[in-house]
Amino acid sequence: MQSFLITDPPSLSDATILGGVPGATFIAGGTDVMQLLKNNVIAPRQLIDLDKLNLSNITNDHGELRLGALATMADVAAHPVIRADWPAISQALLLSASPQVRNMGTMGGNLLQRTRCLYFRDNGFACNKRAPGSGCPAIAGDSRDLAIFGTSSHCIATHPSDLPVALMAFNAEVELQAPGGATRRLPLSKLYRLPGTTPHIETNLQPGELITAVILAAQGVSRRSTYLKVRDRTSFAFALVSAAVALDIEDGTIRDARVALGGVGTMPWRAPLVEIALRGQTPNDQVFETAALKIAAGAETTQMNAFKIRLAQRIIVRALQTVSA
Amino acid sequence: MYVGQGVDRIDGKAKITGGAKYAAEFDLPGTAHAVLVQSTISAGKITGFDLVLAEAMPGILAIITTDNAEKLGNLKAAPQKVTYPLLQDSNIKFNGQHIAVVVADTFERATAAAAAVRVNYRATRAVNTMDQAISQSVTPKEFSNGRAKPDSQVGDAAPLLPAGTLRVEQTYTTPIEHHNPMEPHATIANWSGGQLTVWTATQGISGAQKALSSLFGLEPKSVTVICPYVGGGFGSKGNTWPPAVLAAMAARRVNRPVKLVVTREQMFTSNGYRPRTVQRVKLAASPDGKLLSVRHDVKTQTSMPEVGEFAEPSALITRMLYEAPSIGTSHRLVQVNHGLPTYMRGPGESSGAFAIESAMDEMAAALKMDPIAFRLKNYAENDPTARLPFASKALRECYAQGATAFGWEKRNPIPRSMRDGHLLVGMGMATSSYPTNRMPASASIRLTADGSALVRSGTQDIGTGTYTTLAQVAADELGLPLRKVRTQLGDSRLPSAPVSGGSMTSASVVPAVQAAAQGMKSQLFALAINHGGPQWRGISPETLALSESAVIGPTDRLSIAQIFARAKIAQLNATAGAHPDSDAQKYSKHAFGAQFAEVRVDPDLGIVRVSRWVGAFDCGRILNAKTARSQLIGGIIYGMGMALFEETRVDPNSGRITNANISDYLVAVNADVPDIETIVVDSVDPISNPLGTKGIGELPMVGAAPAIANAVYHATGIRVRDLPIRIENLLV
C-alpha cells in the first residue's frame, strides 16, 4: 500500500470536485477498496471518503424506488418494499458476501466492485485491466471463474457482484452527479463497458462523477422474481453462475420475462434471447428448457469454464420453475 | 478421576478474553518490523536488485537481500528441514521464494518499501506443475523419516489370477492443499549478548531450538524458543521454516528485536503444503469378494532438489489396511518448481485413503457386495506387510456401531435410487486408520505447600487441549483438585518434548507427566514416613496413597501443608522422562475408524451438500471427552474441505499460485457442515503406551474424503476420482 491522503468532504459537490482530480478514488464502505489497496492493485494519491454525504435514504414514491448510493446492502435487503416487491434484489443481496460485509457495503460501491479475477488481484501477474498492455495470462491460465460473455482477447474478467444482476433484469437506472453539479440518469446497462481493447476502462463514468442513487421504475414483473446463485460452497463465495429471473404471467401466458446472469459476463449479463423465447408462451418445463438453450449463442469459453453454459441453462430453468410455481 | 471427563479447557478463558498471548503479541520495546519480498518467477537467477526507491522510503532500517545476507551455518546439517534458500544464493527455484527482507520501524512502512523493491531476473525454463513432468519421476531418497521404504511387496508381485477375477484399475488424484491455520506464521527475534530468544508460532519448540542454533552456529542452550499458544498448525508449523530464520537474521542486522508476521498470501509459499498426488490403484478380487491382489502406486510432487525433498507417503495405509495374498506399493516423486511440501493433517493417510477407499468402493460395487461386508471379508487380523500383530484393533466395532448409528441398513445399494424431493441422496462409507506414534519426552512437577502443582514440559499446545489434559493427569496422579494444578508449556527451557505432530503428544508427554508424578509421590511418601511422627515410622510406602491433597496412611492422614511444614520445605520438585517401550516394536500400532457420510446432490445443478455424518473411532483411551470431540469433528470437517472445496490452484504457464488467499482458497464454512455424530468405541491400547491412548489428531480426517466421494457415487452414479469434487463433475 502506498501513502495517500484521505479527505471526507462535507457535500456532494465538494466530493465530485475532489473526485475529479487525477489520482483520486472514492471510498464508501471500503470492503473492496481496502483489499485493492492492500494488494497494491490500486495506488490512489487521494481517497475521497463519502461517509459525510447524505445518500443512504431509500424512498418509494411516484412509482419510483430510489436507493441512495450509500444505502447499505443489509438495509436494502431488509427493506419491506424490496422484500415484498423486488424479491430478486433482496435475495441477491442476502446471497452476497457475509453479514459483516453487507453491513458495510453500499449500493454504489457494489455496482462498482472490481473483478475477482485472480490475475487482476495479484500484481505478480501481468493484467491488461490493472496494467494496460501488459497482457492477459488468465485466458490461457486458471480461467475457471472467468467470463464467457462480453469477453475480448484482452480480458475475460468476470463482473463479480450479485446486486447489479438483479438490477439489470429490472432495467434499473443510476443517477449520477458530475463535478459542477450536473446530474444525469444512465441505464445500468450503459454504466458498464465491455473490455474490448481497453479493459482498464470499466464504466462510462466521467472523472469525478459519482453514483448518487439507483432508480427502479415500478413494474408488474418484479414481484414474481427470484435470484438463484450457485457457488462452490454454501456461503461466503462468489457466484460460479447466478441468475435473476422474473415472470409476469397472466391467464396462463408469460406476458413479460426477465433473465439476467451473473458470474458469466464481463458485466452483469442480460439474456434477451431467452426472454424473447419465453414471452407469449405457456410456462412449463419444456418452454423453459428451450428458452434457456438460447444463451449459448455468443458464448466464448475456455476449457476450464465451458461448463458455465450448461450450468447457466440449468439455473435459468430452475429459477423459472421457482417463479412460475 | 479427571482423566476421561469432558473438562473445560483451563486455557479457555484466557483465549476468549485475549489473555492468551500468541507469538506475534509479545511486543518488546523498540521492536522493528520485517516484511518478506518474494520472487515472481519460478526458475532462474536474480541479476540485480534496484533498491533506490525502497531505501529512500521513511523508517527503513535495513533491506537484506541475497546480495548482502549473512552466511548461515551448514543448511544441510540443520536437524529440521529448513527450506531453500534463506537468501544464501541468487538462484530462484520457485515462484514466491523469499528473496529479500525489508526491516522498518513500522509494519506499514516495511510493507510499503517491500512493494517498492525492484528485482531483475534471468528466467529459465521451469516445471510449473506436476503434470508437466509426470513422466519423469524419481525414487525418494528419504522416505517416511526412515521408518519405511518407498516400495513394498507382499506375496507375488504379479500373481496368476483365475478366470472370473474382478478387477478395478483406476487413477485417483488429490490437489495441492494448504493448511491455512487461523494464526499465520509469526516470529519475534531478539539477540542479547550472543543469546537468541524467539517467540515463534511452532508445533516444535525443541526442533526450532535445534534448527536455529545450528544455522547461527550457537549452542542449543543459547537459543530460547517460546510459544505458549498456537493458533493451529496442521503440520505447517512442524518444521522451522525460513521466516523464523530470517526474523533472527534481521534482528541481528538491525540490533533490535524484529517481528516478522507472514501474510496470508505468503503463507502459500512459506511453510509447506500437501503435495499433489496421482495414485494408481489396482485391485483384483474373487467373485465372492476376497481380495487377491492390491497394488497402489503413488506419484507425488516435490520441490527441486536444491530446495529439499518431501514424499507424501500415500500408500503406507494400503500396506496394513486389508488382508490380501499380494500387496504391492510404490512411491515416486515428480520434481516441480514449487516450494517444499510438508506434513499436512494425516500426511499420506488422508490422500492415500482417498485412493484406496474409493477403489474399495468401486470393487464392492463391481462385486455387488455391501461396502462394509466387502471390507469385513478382507479384514486384516494382523498387519499383512509388517507381519506383526496389531497392538489393538477394534475396527469391527467401528463398522458395527457406526453403521447402526448412521442407519446404514436403510441404504438401497443401487446408485441414484434414493431421493429426497428432487435431491438425490447418497450414503457412503470409508475406513480410517492412522499410526499410533510415540517419542521420548520429559516433564517436571513442582508442588508447593498450599497443595498447588505446576506441571511443566517443553511441549506445546497446538489447540488440542494439552494444557488441560496434562493437568487432568497430574491432578489424578497426585490426588489434587484440578483447580490446584497449573500447566506451563511452550518454552525450550522446560524439560524437552517432541514435535506436536503425528498425533503423538499425549502418547509421548503424558507418560512423562505420570513418571514425574510417581517421583513426586515417592518423595512425599518418604517425607511423610520420616516426618509424620511415631505412627508413620516404619510404614511401607506401598501402603500409602495420595488423595484430597493429603497422604493417606493406614491409620492417619497428613496434608501436603503439614508435611511441608514438618519437613521445613517450601516446595518439592520431580522431573522425569519417558521412552517408548521397546516391546512395542513387536506390534503394528494403529488407530482405526469408520466414516459414514450422507450427501444430498442437486442433480440439475451439481451441488453437493453433506447432510449427515457419523464417525466411529477406535482411538484408545480418551483423556478429555470434550477436547477429544473437538478434535474428532475438526478432523471430519477438514476432510469435508478436502473432498469438496480445498485446492491450491497454480497458473500452468508461470508456476505462480493463483488463489493464495482465503477468499479464493475455499475451506468449509459453518453452512457446509451438518451435525456430526462421533462415537468412540471401547478400546484401550495397553501396548503402545502406558496410558492406552492412540492419538486422535489426524485419524478423524482420514477416510472422510472417500466417504463423501463414495456417497456422491451412490447418490448420482458418477464416480469422481479427482479431488475436490466440483459442480462441473456432476453436471451431466
Cβ contact A234–B669 (<8 Å): yes
Residue with cell 516478522: B260
Contacts of B645 in chain A (CB under 8 A): 232-233
Cβ proximity of B610 and B708 under 8 Å: yes
Judged by CB atoms closer than 8 Å, whether chains meet at B671 and A235 is answered as: yes
SS in 3 state form for B367-417?
Answer: HCCCHHHHHHHCECCEECCCCEEECCCCHHHHHHHHHHHHCHHHCCCCCCC
Contact call for residues A35 and A58 (beta carbons, < 8 A): no
- State the pLDDT at residue B85: 76
Q: Band the pLDDT of B240: cuts 50, 70, 90.
A: very high
Q: How far apart are CA B558 and CA A217, in angstroms?
A: 87
> Which grid cell sits at A305?
469454464
Interface test with chain A among B129, B605, B645, B669, by most A beta carbons within 10 Å: B605
pLDDT digits (tens, 9 = 90+) for B117-169: 999 999 999 999 999 999 999 999 989 888 899 999 999 999 999 999 999 99
pLDDT at B557 over 70: yes
pLDDT for the residue numbered B78: 65
Tell whether B144 is within 8 A of chain A (Cβ). Answer: no
The answer to whether the Cβ–Cβ distance between B656 and A122 falls below 8 Å is yes
B467 touches chain A (CB under 8 A): no
Q: Provide mean pLDDT across the span B504-517.
A: 96
Give per-residue pLDDT as tens, A130-184: 999 999 999 999 999 999 999 999 999 999 999 999 999 999 999 999 999 999 9
User: How much is the average pLDDT of B46-57?
Assistant: 97
Chain B residues touching A317 at Cβ < 8 A: 604
> Is residue B56 within 8 angstroms of chain A, CB to CB?
no
pLDDT one-digit tens code per residue, B271-319? 999 999 999 999 999 999 999 999 999 999 999 999 999 999 999 999 9
Q: What's the ipTM?
A: 0.97
Nearest to B615 by CA among B430, B434, B463: B430
Nearest to A40 among B115, B670, B671 (CB): B115
| H or E segment and range at residue B608 | strand B608-618
pLDDT digits (tens, 9 = 90+) for B663-711: 999 999 999 999 999 999 998 888 888 889 999 999 999 999 999 999 9
* Cell numbers representing residue A153 in the block: 482477447
Q: Taking 80 as the threshold, does the pLDDT of residue B84 lie above it?
A: no
Spatial CB neighbours of A49, under 8 Å, sequence gap ≥ 6: A6, A7, A8, A27
pLDDT exceeds 80 at position B79: no
Q: How much of chain A is helix, strand and coil, in % rounded to 5?
A: 30, 25, 50
8 Å CB contact of A234 and B659: no
What is the SS3 assignment for B468?
helix
Mean pLDDT across B421-429 = 98
pLDDT in tens, B620-658: 999 999 999 999 999 999 999 999 999 999 999 999 999
Distance CA A2, CA B116 (A): 9
Percent of chain B exceeding pLDDT 90 equals: 94
The reply to whether residue B645 touches residue A235, judged by beta carbons under 8 angstroms, is no
Residue of B142, B309, B698, B728 marked active site: B698
Beta-carbon separation of A230 and B607 below 8 A: yes
Q: Is the pLDDT of residue B473 over 90?
A: yes
A309 touches chain B (CB under 8 A): no
Please report which confidence band the pLDDT of residue B76 belongs to, taking 50, 70 and 90 as the band edges. low
In A, minimum Cα distance to B107 occurs at A1
Mutate which of A233, A236, A320 to test chain B, going by most B C-beta atoms within 10 A? A233
Give the number of other CB atoms < 10 A from CB of residue A48: 27
Residues B658, A116: C-beta atoms closer than 8 Å: no
Measured distance CA(B73)–CA(B463) in Å, rounded:
33
Could you tell me if B609 lies within 8 Å of chain A, comparing CB atoms? yes
pLDDT at residue B264 greater than cutoff 70: yes
Q: What is the pLDDT of residue A117?
A: 98
Contacts of B44 (CB under 8 A, 6+ apart): B91, B92, B121, B122, B123, B124, B126
Task: Tell me whether B53 touches chain A (CB under 8 Å).
Answer: no
| Sheet strands side by side (includes A183-187) | A58-61, A64-68, A210-217, A173-177, A183-187
| Residues B337 and B128: beta-carbon distance below 8 Å | yes
Residue with cell 459537490: A13
Per-residue confidence band for B350, with pLDDT thresholds at 50, 70 and 90: very high
Whole-Å CA distances, B108 to B105, B145, B246: 9, 41, 18
Closest CA to B548 of B449, B482, B480, B472: B480
Whole-model pTM? 0.97
Point out the residues of chain A with pLDDT beneath 50.
none
- Whether B123 and chain A come into contact, CB under 8 Å, resolves to no
Peptide bond between residue B85 and the one before it cis (omega within 30 degrees of 0)? yes
Q: How many CB pairs under 8 A join A and B?
A: 86
**Residue B429 near residue B371, CB atoms below 8 Å:** yes
Report the chain A residue with the minimal C-alpha distance to residue B603: A314
End-to-end CA separation in angstroms for chain A: 51
CB contact under 8 A, B658 and A141: yes
Chain B residue with Cα closest to A122: B658
Tell me what the pLDDT averaged over chain B comes to: 96
> In the annotation, is B169 catalytic?
no
pLDDT at B80 over 70: no
What pLDDT, on the 0 to 100 scale, is given for residue B91?
96
Angle, in degrees to the nearest 10, between helices B704-716 and B625-644: 50
Q: Do residue B728 and residue A307 have CB atoms under 8 angstroms apart?
A: yes
Please answer yes or no on whether B671 and A116 come within 8 Å at the CB atom.
no
Answer yes or no: is pLDDT of B7 > 80: yes
Identify the pLDDT of residue B634.
Answer: 97
Q: Which class for B304: exposed (0-12), middle (13-18), buried (19 or more C-beta within 10 A)? A: buried
Q: What is the pLDDT of residue B583?
A: 84
User: In this predicted structure, what is the pLDDT of residue B625?
Assistant: 97
B421 in A contact zone (CB under 8 Å): no
A45 lies within 8 A of chain B by CB:
no
More confident residue, B82 or A16: A16
